Each structure stands twice: as structure tokens, then as C-alpha cells.
A and B are shown apart, each in its own frame.
Chain A
Amino acid sequence: EVLLVQSGGGLVQPGGSLKLSCAASGFIFSGSAMHWVRQASGKGLEWVGRIRSKPNNYATAYTASVKGRFTISRDDSKNTAYLQMNSLKTEDTAVYYCTKNYGDSFDFWGQGNLVTVSS
């Protein structure tokens, strides 16, 4: 059974940092690209970024609004992906999901973590 179990999240002040984790099981994690998607309250899904697998040089890509502030990484020995969020803004407030690549789509999703950026 494929499982993506997320941890982290919570309340942080504007300008602060937070790190989310996504622990995977039930599939060959090292061979899969991993993505992060977020959803602000009352809004639609927004892709945050992704990290590819080792054969693809762990290449990362990000949506424009988080470039230079967010970093996606992975530890294949722990089957875990990470989303490091720095210089957080109020508009980053959202539920964040990690999700597994399936070709050009996403077939399994983590349970989601609420990140609230507020003073």
C-alpha cells in the first residue's frame, strides 16, 4: 500500500521559516519524482514545485511565486521528501500536500499540512 505521511506545518510569523516532511512507503521512492501542491482556503490547487530522482540529478523546479524562498529536497535513504520554506508571507498560508509522480500526473497524495503565516 502506498502511503505518504506528512509532518510539520503550523503557525509561523511573516518572514519566518518552516520545514515540511513527507515520509513515503509502499513504492520505490528513489525512482519517483516528488511534488508539493498547496491549496489556500477557498482557492484552487496550486503546484509549488518538484524534485526528480537521482538518475535525473535530483533536478528541482518551482512555481514563480516561491522561487528563491522555498527549497525541495529528498533523502532516499529515509524515503522522505522535504519542503523548506523561508521568508514566508501571509499569502503562503495554505494546506500543503506532497504527492507522487505518475507519468505527468499525481496518483497518491499525503494527508496535507496546514501552514498558517500570521503575526
Chain B
Amino acid sequence: QSVLTQPPSVSAAPGQKVTISCSGSSSNIGNNYVSWYQHLPGTTPKLLIYDNDGRPSGIPDRFSGSKSGTSATLDITGLQTGDEADYYCGTWDSGLSAVVFGGGTKLTVL
């Protein structure tokens, strides 16, 4: 059972938009930066979003992040079949003194 709560799965058609939520508490999301990762099986995780809404060089602007209170969201627009992957949110938990991840959300592009 993860400290951060994500929906196990989301799906949408190519070209559509999907939103992945990440819910936490004041000890983690509420007072720390959130990052998002894309993980395709057999590959290494890829940083998509840092510091709640920052995008590393090379990440398309179809990917965007936001944070409000103790929740964060990852939006993906213009879905492509290549976006099918597992997505994880992560942040520091001040109470646990540890980095925590969400349980992951499997994105299916129908």
C-alpha cells in the first residue's frame, strides 16, 4: 500500500487527453515538490515532470503537471500509442524522511 494514491489504470483514445491523479498528505505532497515518471517495461524510468510543473529538456509539452494542496496531477494531451506505459508520481515525505512513490498508473491508449 503506497503512501501516495494513484488510480491503477486510465485509458483514452489516440489524440485525446488523460489526467492521472496523485493524492497524498501534508507530510509529502502538501509541502514538497512532486515529480512524475514514465516507465515502459524493460526500460529505465524517464523523468517527465519535476518540481510540480517543470518539464526537462526533450519532454514534449503534451505532458504537463500541476499541484494543489495535497494532490498533484499529470495531464497528457494528444495521446499517442507510444504513451502506453506506467506512470508514477514521487515526492519527499517529511514524516517518513524518505522518498515516496505512488503505486503507479497504467495508461492504455485504446
A residues with a Cβ closer than 8 A to B are 35, 37, 44-47, 50, 61-64, 97, 99, 102-107, 109-112
Contacts and interface: CB of A to CB of B under 8 A. Distances in A.
A72 to B, nearest CB: 13
B51 A46 contact: no
Contacts of A112: 44
B73 interface: no
Contact of B33 (A37, A45, A104, A110): A104
Interface in B63-110: 86, 88, 90-92, 96-104
B101 A102 contact: no
Contacts of B103: 44
Contact of A44 (B32, B56, B96, B102): B102
Given A45-B37, A46-B101, A102-B47, 11 more contacts: A44-B88, A44-B101, A47-B98, A63-B98, A102-B56, A104-B51, A104-B91, A105-B90, A106-B47, A107-B47, A107-B56
B77 to A, nearest CB: 22
Interface pairs A-B: 9 shortest CB-CB: A105-B35, A47-B99, A105-B50, A109-B44, A44-B104, A104-B33, A45-B101, A44-B103, A107-B47
A45 B45 contact: yes
Contact of A109 (B2, B45, B99): B45
